[in-house]
Amino acid sequence: MNRLIHAELVKARASRTVRVLAVLAPLTCMLWAGLGVALLGLEGRMPAEDRIRNVYAMAQQAYLFTLLLGILGTAGEFRHQTITWRFLVTPDRGRVVSAKLAAYGIVGLAVAAVSAAATVAAGALLLHLGGHPVTAPGVPAALLGAVLAVTGYGLLGVGLGALIRNQTAAVAVALIWFMYADYLLTMLLPGLGRWLPTGAARALAGMSMENAELLPAWAGGPLFAAYVLAAVLAARLTTLRRDVT
């Protein structure tokens, strides 16, 4: 198993796409943190401490990049038909996907940690320059939650990429689902929001979501993990059993 995980990491390191996404993730977080600081000056109902914590919670915005990394790392093998080589070397297809989960967990954790560090650096600097308090209660917990959630999205990407072998379709489904559909559903059915993957991830990251009462952070994590597990199990029962032609 270790050598399969190592092979995935060799592949991730050799790929230009992985490098680009890994660099874009912290940059995006810094932009969001900047936006959060800029909006601090506006009048709002939210207490100032919560709004400062939310600046650091922007570390969660790296989720899109780890999600894409997971999808491309799995569905990309089908797109380029390199999955044939992988299954020839490792005929046990479930092990190939397990190795991808482990590898993209590691890659996702690295991207998440760097993104969190970048968010802290940009957020603290901009808060200080803006004359705001640089920290608030709950910031370390928000950062830790963001790192876990961003890593989790990488795992979810692997599951989705295994389930939806068409890379373009997998990316489209993921973007529509996690950027729009979950929010739309939450708006339409407020009681449902906390049970959706986005609600679970936001609970884990200690963020709020409009129109939705979120689960506590300790429950958001296992719920999100259940979504990952469901995607992987569904893939093992369907797409992974199909003929590779």
Q: Which residues bind other proteins (CB under 8 A)?
A: 3-4, 6-7, 10-11, 14-17, 76, 80-82, 84-92, 241, 243-245
Q: For residues 206 and 57, is the Cβ–Cβ distance under 8 A?
A: yes
CB of 45 to other proteins, least distance (A): 49
Q: How many CB atoms lie within 10 A of CB 89?
A: 11
Q: For residues 106 and 147, is the Cβ–Cβ distance under 8 A?
A: no
Residue with Cβ nearer other proteins (84 or 211): 84
CB of 235 to other proteins, least distance (A): 17
| 220: nearest Cα among 236, 209, 232, 233 | 209
CB of 60 to other proteins, least distance (A): 29
Residue with Cβ nearer other proteins (18 or 185): 18
CB of 90 to other proteins, least distance (A): 6
Residue with Cβ nearer other proteins (85 or 180): 85
CB of 17 to other proteins, least distance (A): 7
Beta bridge pairs of residue 209: 212
CA–CA distances in Å: residue 66 to residues 56, 62, 149: 18, 7, 10
Residue with Cβ nearer other proteins (11 or 51): 11
Residue with Cβ nearer other proteins (53 or 100): 100
Q: For residues 134 and 37, is the Cβ–Cβ distance under 8 A?
A: no
> Where do the H-state alpha helices sit in 130-166?
139-163
Beta bridge pairs of residue 212: 209
